[in-house]
Amino acid sequence: MAGKAFGFVYRTLIYTVAIALVLFALLISGLRYLLPQLPDVTQQVETFLASNYATEVSLSQISADWGRSGPELILHELVVRPDANKATRVEIDEARVLIDFWASARSLSIQFERVQLDAMRLHYDLRDSYGGSTDSEFRLSPNLTNLLLHQLDYIQVADSTLELVNLVGVTRAIEITELRWVNQQQRHQGVGKLAFSTVSDNTLDIIIDVQGSDTRALSGQVYVAANQLDITPWVQQQIIDTEIKKAAFNYNLWLNFKQNQFTDGLLQLGEQALIWEVDQQQHQLRIPGGELKLRPYRNGWRVNSNPLTIEHNQRSWTLPTFSWEHQPPPPSASMIYHYRRCLNYSICSVAKGRK
């Protein structure tokens, strides 16, 4: 009797588990089928984001899909304006919000696996943050700050562009080939590759290490590395009467900041090489290495160098330590013209403050 009872219980348990697995598989299959058929809730999502994150949002369409780890919410042609009165904005062709199904089921709350942003264009105007009154400064809402620094653990950016508008209105584009941003409590780190397609086909490695929870009081370090950065085509465009054979840069840059204020920086030069040809005679200019230290000075910068060795063809000499200061003048028509001219050259001498 005991053996028969045990066999009955065992078969019942097996059948129950099998039925549960079949029902669960049917549920997953149903979700896979139903997710793309969800009704359009674009207007409701725009209203939700605007009311909860104090930001202006527009969407062209919202769709859903099922990925490897769970459901995905896809936002098409997303435009975010943290402040409707400012020029700073974010435009994203496609934003995918991936939800971790199993983690959400265990915690009985929505758990994000990652947010994937493709073809993003971040337009940041420095004039939104500087030069005005305290009340008019550009700031993110507390809820939006909490979302970006705490609620989203992993953000992945690909094939995107950062557009920086300086204080005189000149726009420069930095291409974000890839960037992985990870939030872990008070620490936030981004690792990726940047490119300046108008200057070089090579990419720069970048690491951003940040501590803090308030976007108005962050501290950390930015590291940028260039390895054999080939800018030959760009230099050739600037010097049309000379054939440029090679122009390659190597450097490592560290910039430290505290409470959102720059504190110091170090530019460590690797080998810099410039080779050109004039009248079938080849010339070579080479700097084996060196260091430049940067510190804030009044409203500008102060740069100090160690002795630099410069080699030209078969001759070499040592450039002693030097320093210079840069104090940006107030924006004016003449200043804008001068600034634009300077940006067309690889080395720009500042009219004021050079020592």
How many Å apart are CA 312 and CA 286, to the nearest integer? 6
**Residue 24, pLDDT above cutoff 90:** no
**Residue 272, pLDDT above cutoff 60:** yes
What token pair was written down for 307?
């002795």
CA dihedral 206, 210, 213, 218 (to 10 degrees): -100
- Which helix (DSSP H) or strand (DSSP E) does residue 342 occupy? helix 333-342
With beta carbons less than 8 A apart as the criterion, state whether 203 and 193 touch.
yes
How many Å apart are CA 199 and CA 270, to the nearest integer? 19
Is 0.85 topped by the overall pTM?
no
How many Å apart are CA 340 and CA 294, to the nearest integer? 23
Task: Kindly list the distances between the CA atom of residue 83 and the CA atoms of 78, 128, 133, 352, in Å, as whole numbers in the listed order.
Answer: 15, 10, 15, 35
CB atoms closer than 10 angstroms to residue 351 = 11
**Residue 343, pLDDT above cutoff 50:** no
Residue 295 neighbours by CB under 8 Å, 6+ apart: 263, 264, 265, 301, 302, 304
pLDDT of the residue at 167? 77
What token pair was written down for 38?
């969800």
| pLDDT tens-digit map of 277-328 | 888 889 999 999 999 999 988 777 888 988 889 898 888 888 888 888 876 6
- Strand 112-125 vs strand 154-165: parallel, antiparallel, or unpaired? parallel
How many Å apart are CA 302 and CA 295, to the nearest integer? 5
